[in-house]
Amino acid sequence: MWQQIEGLLRNSSRSVTLIAPFIKKSIFEAAVAAVPASVEHIRCVTRWTPAEVAAGVSDPEIIEISESDKRVRIDLCPALHAKIYVGDDRCLVGSANLTSKATGRVPDSNIELLVEAAVAHPEIQRVLGQVETAAVEATLHQAVLIRKQAELLKSEASPSRADDAELAIQPWYPVTRRPENLYVLYSGRGSFASAVEEGIVLDLALLNVPVGLSEGDFNAVVRSRLHAIPELGQLQDGESLSNVELELALAQRSGVDEVLARRRTENIAAWLQHFDTYYTEVDSWQLRRGREIG
């Protein structure tokens, strides 16, 4: 695999594009080094999620190479699964990511496939067009933030199903008391006190939100995770849910004390109000779907 990729890169004269969901820094460095100095543009498209970075299959530190080599641009495409390596008018398509095991640069490497094709092939053009539409340029803020999330995940969970780059992540309940701050930090539009930031980073890590989402897509991912909280089952069935019922369910299922159950209840209510169309009534309240009137 590596001989194919390196050969394509060394014979490029105008532009190079490297598209793979998993990219390790050492292999990316070798790939960039193989590109002739005459090539002015090297574009990399990848994806970063906390669980995948924690599992060790992707390195957000590849952003450092774009800092030192101005030919390099790193883009993020959250839904990316394709592997395409382009050099001028030729490309390789197949299964191999830019990792040591996928490219055959270590013993016991993966069984992979890369097939040479013309960039002009209609299906390749279709995928390249989709990538172009969805990809956004990566930032140093995103790289640093995803690494923080990955390190938190590694301390909170143990690897499982390593071939799928998944982690056995503990059940998630919102930690951040002001959910409107979540996208602000995620998108790099603001900074917070260390204690507040720590809670936001933990929520982002356990939510496993991929980097590079628009605010609407980000909200949709969070909303789906909220709906998956087991204690909110009767809300999903169209019923109301009182704070007393939710506190009791949280205490019974999770084995937490009354204080933590109450705090989780308040946080969940705030998140449902922000990310969905639920509201609470005053005092001994109930969560109800819809918008509060008056």
The tens digit of pLDDT for each residue in 279-293 reads: 666 556 677 766 554
pLDDT band at 162; cut points 50, 70, 90: very low
Q: What topology does CATH give the domain 2-138? A: Endonuclease; Chain A (3.30.870)
CB neighbour list of residue 54: distance below 8 Å, 6 or more residues apart: 149, 150, 151, 153, 154, 157, 167
pLDDT band at 235; cut points 50, 70, 90: confident
pLDDT tens per residue across span 241-255: 888 888 898 898 878
CATH 3.30.870.10 intervals, the chain: 2-138
The pLDDT > 70 percentage for the chain reads: 89
pLDDT tens per residue across span 13-30: 999 999 999 999 999 999
Q: What is the mean pLDDT of residues 41-67?
A: 97
pLDDT tens per residue across span 178-209: 999 999 999 999 889 999 999 999 999 999 99
Q: Output the six-digit token pair for 145.
A: 């933030």
Cα gap 211→205, rounded to integer Å:
11
Bridge partner list, 83 = 94
pLDDT reported for residue 190: 87
pLDDT tens per residue across span 94-128: 999 999 999 999 999 999 999 999 999 999 999 99
pLDDT reported for residue 240: 78
Q: What is the mean pLDDT of residues 267-278?
A: 90
Q: Is the pLDDT of residue 169 over 80?
A: no
Q: Is the dihedral of CA 211, 212, 215, 218 positive or negative?
A: negative
- pLDDT mean across residues, the chain: 90
Q: Is the pLDDT of residue 161 over 50?
A: no
pLDDT reported for residue 282: 53
pLDDT reported for residue 233: 83
Q: Output the six-digit token pair for 61.
A: 């530190």
